Amino acid sequence: MPIRSDGKRRWVELEFVVPGTPEQVWRAIATGPGLSAWFTPATADERVGGKIEFTFGEGAASSGTITAWEPPSRLEYEEHGWSENAPPLASEFVISSRSGDKCVVRLVHSLFTSSNTWDDEIEGFESGWPGFFQILRLYLRHFADQRAAAARAMSAYPGTHAEAWKQLATALGLYGPNLGERRSASAEAPPLVGTVEHVDQSDGACEVLLRLEQPAQGLALIGSFPWEDKARVAVSLFFYGDRAAETAAEIEPRWRAWLEARFPASAVQKANA
């Protein structure tokens, strides 16, 4: 959607439909355990004035102050210092019930500025959410309110993200995916078997979302995306159930080692020399 402005702020709006009751959707969007089950490790002090924090890996993190807390319909938080010299950023989630045990979620990201200096960042907020919304939908449909744990691995690639994706997807048996197909990684990779639930192939990202059978019940978002003057490849695995934490702890170092062997940091350093 286009960036909007009223002279005091600039914002983007997204709206999406998810399964579940307002209470289930609220727990997924407004609590630390819920956010960690489909987005990124998070904590939330569940009150107005409380802190909400997100950890993105490799030292990247952000935090904000909750400015609206209205269960199960509205959450808003405001982040200062989310980027160097950036104006404050407000994020608002509004949950509305729809018939058939579904909800509409409206998300608004607002920057308190009249300048277009930060428009690339605002557009980045908008383009970065769709893949995670797909995870949220599957989480609510199949695993809502279960214990959850995530495993993540990421590496850099000196070429384009499309080139990186071809190498990654080929190695994992994910190249040319079709919805509903059952795919399995090669024996050289960590265990990965699942059904293709979503595919995104664009200038902004190449991603495949799987509903997993192995190494355990869960979801996997695997893809590549541009990052500054190079590309990144990433594997995000979400496990659910009583043994989710044990599975994530066992599998994460295996994926980190596998990605480093396929996409070594030395190759990026050599390309930048």
Q: What string of DSSP letters covers 170-189?
A: HHHT-SS--TT-EEE--TTS
Per-residue pLDDT of the chain (273 residues; tens, 9 = 90+): 688 888 888 899 999 999 999 999 999 999 999 999 999 999 999 999 999 999 887 677 889 999 999 999 999 999 987 777 788 899 999 999 998 899 999 999 998 888 888 888 777 777 778 888 999 999 999 999 999 999 999 999 998 888 999 999 999 999 999 999 999 998 899 999 999 999 988 877 889 999 999 999 999 999 998 877 789 999 999 999 999 999 999 999 999 999 999 998 765 555 554
**Domain boundaries along the sequence of the chain:** 4-143, 148-272
d(CA 105, CA 265): 39
| Domains 4-143 and 148-272 fall in the same CATH topology | yes
| Architecture of the 4-143 domain | 2-Layer Sandwich (3.30)
pLDDT of the residue at 78: 95
d(CA 227, CA 55): 18
Among 27, 145, 11, which Cα is nearest to 95's? 27
d(CA 208, CA 232): 15
Among 144, 125, 111, which Cα is nearest to 219's? 144
pLDDT of the residue at 271: 55
Q: Which residues pair with 17 in a beta bridge?
A: 104
The pTM (predicted TM-score) of the whole model is 0.89
Q: How far is Cα of residue 230 from the mean position of the Cα atoms in its chain?
A: 20
Q: Is the CATH number of domain 148-272 3.50.50.60? A: no
